[in-house]
Amino acid sequence: MKCIAVTNEKGGVAKTTTAVNLGAALAEMGHRVLLIDMDAQANLTLAVGADPQQIHATILDIILDNVLSTEEILKPTGIERLHLLGSNSGLNLAERLLPRQSGYETLLQKKLPFIGAKFEYVILDCPPFLGAMMSNALAVAEIALIPTQAEFFSIYALKNILALIRRIREQHNPSLAYRLLLTMFDQRNRIHRTLYQYLHEHFADGLLETVIPTDTRLRESAIAGVPVLHHAPKSRAALQYRALAQEIIHYVQETLAQPA
Ligand code: ADP
Ligand code: MG
């Protein structure tokens, strides 16, 4: 099982869109995937057509040992091989409850092997702040996948999440890697091209080759409650999310498979 935390301190940068569509692409390629919604806003839950009001246990209940059997709370999404652990507004309590526990940043690290055992990929969709949920996600993930827009303020904002990643590496997860993913990219926009070049020079391997174009099909698919791969399978966004899945699979096979 490999765990990917989709993370960024900024909201609206396509974290949830990336979580659901990367998940759908990996599932389409034959992998068993678990999507975990770690955000009280439950956007990932909605994005696969589930109703947050029908979600009776969340990742917080698992972390706090409020549920005994994980089997009953992992829901099929209607898409083959793609499962969901949904969220609801109860997750708002996480930022108050978790820091009261000792060693609270590694609580998920201890639980994920059990929840994720039957899956090849577990994808965590983080909330947009550097809190307890995000540090728990980073402490357990193999890869922090950071969607970012090719805009100056977005790139400036990366320094906070990168600093958190450095701290989590030192304290809890030495092998945590990160990858930047440019989203809402417009090839015709000169600033976008310039910033891509800048990131390429400054982050080298840290920048994914795949970029996700601006594509209104993504907004439509969110409203429809299905991944864009199913809503508009031939759209540019769908093609690029498949390319992203290939790039991630390649990384997992080439890098993570090597003995340390
Ligand atoms: P986050 O989870 O980081 O807050 P979302 O995934 O919810 O971000 O995306 C924010 C909004 O932008 C949503 O309405 C989503 O449909 C839209 N969006 C995401 N990616 C793209 C894209 N490549 N092109 C156009 N719209 C996008
Ligand atoms: Mg989101």
- DSSP annotation string for 63-130: HTT--S-SGGG-EE-SSTTEEEE---GGGGGHHHHGGGSTTGGGHHHHHHHHHTTT-SEEEEE--SSS
In 10 A of CB 204, how many CB atoms? Answer: 8
Ligand nearest to the CA of 149: 1
> Which residue's CA lies nearest to atom 16 of ligand 1?
219
Instruction: Please tell me whether the overall predicted TM-score, pTM, comes out greater than 0.95 for this model.
Output: yes
What confidence tens digit (pLDDT) does each residue in 10-52 have? 999 999 999 999 999 999 999 999 999 999 999 999 999 999 9
Contact 126, 133 (CB under 8 A): yes
The rounded mean pLDDT for the chain is 95
CATH class of domain segment(s) 2-255:
alpha beta
Mutate to test the pocket of ligand 1, among 217, 218, 240 (most ligand atoms within 8 A of CB): 218
Q: How far lies 159's CA from each of 141, 235, 237, 241, 244, in Å?
A: 19, 32, 27, 25, 23
Point out the ligand nearest to the CA of residue 10: 1
- Report CA(259)–ligand 2 centroid distance (Å): 34
Q: Which two tokens stand for residue 58?
A: 């969340």
Residues at CB less than 6 angstroms from ligand 1: 11-17, 43, 128, 183-184, 212, 214-216, 218-219, 222, 237
Closest atom of ligand 1 to 19 CA is 6
What is the percent of the chain with per-residue pLDDT over 90, rounded to a whole number? Answer: 91
**pLDDT (tens digit, 9 = 90+) per residue, 44-100?**
999 999 999 999 999 999 999 888 677 778 999 999 999 999 999 999 999 999 999
Residue nearest to atom 20 of ligand 1 (CA): 14
pLDDT digits (tens, 9 = 90+) for 114-169: 999 999 999 999 999 999 999 999 999 999 999 999 998 999 999 999 999 999 99
Query: What does the block give as tokens for 142?
Result: 């193999």
pLDDT of residue 67: 81
Query: Maximum distance among all alpha carbons in the chain?
Result: 53
Nearest-CA residue for atom 24 of ligand 1 = 214
Domain ranges of the chain: 2-255
Q: What residue's CA is closest to ligand 1, atom 15? A: 219
Ligand number, closest to the Cα atom of 13: 1
Mutational test site, ligand 1, from 17, 35, 240, max ligand atoms within 8 Å of CB: 17
Confidence of residue 210 (pLDDT cuts 50, 70, 90): very high
- This complex has an ipTM of 0.99
Q: How far is the CA of 7 from the centre of ligand 2 (A)?
A: 9
- Tokens standing for 22? 């990367």
Q: How far apart are CA 42 and CA 254, in angstroms?
A: 33
Find the 88 Cα to ligand 2 centroid distance in Å: 13
Which atom of ligand 1 sits closest to the CA of residue 39?
Answer: 2
